[in-house]
Structure formats: C-alpha cells, structure tokens
Amino acid sequence: MDIIKYIKEISIVKKIIICSSNQSVCQKEILKIEQYLSHKVPYETTAVLKKYQGCSFEDNVSFKVTNRIPILGDSKLLDFGIFLTLSESHYQIREILINNEDLFQKRFIPIIEATPGDYIAQDIITMEIYFISHDFDSQKESGKYKIAKSLTDFLLNLSISSDNNSHNIKSSNIINVSYSNDLLEMMANYKKNNS
C-alpha cells in the first residue's frame, strides 16, 4: 500500500507549522541529519517527512498501544500530535535531536511529536517505532517503548478516536496544551545552555 496516499485516507491533513517544502532544502537537511546520526534515514521515512512535515490531522487521531506506557495511565491510546519538520521551526528534527541527545542517543530519529516533549521515533538500526517520553523515572523505566515493528505498521494502525475508543478522561494523564513559539524557544535555549 502507498503509505503517502493512506495518510490522506485517515483524516484531513492540514499544515500547522509554516515550513519550507523546497525539495532541495529538505534534502540538504536530511543529509545533515544523516551526518549527525552517522546513519542513512530510511527512504520511506524521508518520503513521509518531505510530504507531511509540519502537518497534523484535523480529527483526533491515535494509535492503540499493546504494551503499558506509564505516562498514559490506564489508556491504551497514544495521541498523534504533529509531523516534525525538516526545515527551520521549533519542531525541526535536527534541533530536537541535538537538544535531546540524552533521549535519542544518535540511534533514534524523531518523526512525530505525540504530546509536548514526547515523540514517536524510529530506531535507525532496527527500523522499529518507539514512543519516547521525556517524563520517566530513570530508576524504574527507560522512557522508550516499542509500539510498532515499522513506520508503515505504525501509520497503517492510526485511527480516528471515536466515542467508543476515546480516552478515559479520569484515567488519562495526558492533557493537550499549546505553547507559544517564544516559550518553546526559551525552553530550548535553557536546555541547550544547561545540559
């Protein structure tokens, strides 16, 4: 199945972050990411990012996880946030990698921000998809949870959350919030200067 076409079938896709879609700019950024990671970015991942960087779904789209993820509480639904960007923005993949080297360890490439500061990322060695949380107890958990065997597997299992399978508000620990670009920049600078 053509994964690019399938994404459009899930829900209306809309651009949230204004970013360059110039293919030359995107390709140069992919090369910089590959240089940083010392690995090639998979073709499928590159194609999805070039097409959907800075986009999200109009409907509430989620992925049903099979393993327990502490930050979700009793919920089994992981919200889809926004495709990260190749071009300059507060959602730029390379900047997220650099500012969160402790999370990604030059082994994972973040593709989607699930919730603020938590990412859907691809293991560039095994190609498996992980939920990577910045909020975890380092004594008890790693903050990395395998959720799909591939990017295709992840994307093909996205669905619109309906009343029957939506989050149980009483048990869900995630709250949707918005941050201004100024606050995001301030937080990134703080992390960069204090890491």
Q: Return the pLDDT at 108.
A: 96
* Domains of the chain, first to last: 3-160 (3.40.1580.10)
Q: Return the pLDDT at 194.
A: 76
Residues of the chain below pLDDT 70: 1, 136-141, 163-183, 195
Q: Return the pLDDT at 88.
A: 82
Q: Return the pLDDT at 136.
A: 66
Contact (CB, 8 A) for 181 and 189: no
Q: Return the pLDDT at 172.
A: 41
Q: E strands of the chain, at which residues?
A: 13-15, 55-57, 61-64, 77-79, 82-83, 108-115, 118-123, 129-132, 144-148, 158-160
Q: Return the pLDDT at 140.
A: 62
Helix (H, G, I), strand (E, B) or coil at 86: coil
pTM: predicted TM-score of the whole model, two decimal places = 0.78
Asked whether the CA dihedral 81, 2, 64, 104 is positive or negative, the reply is negative
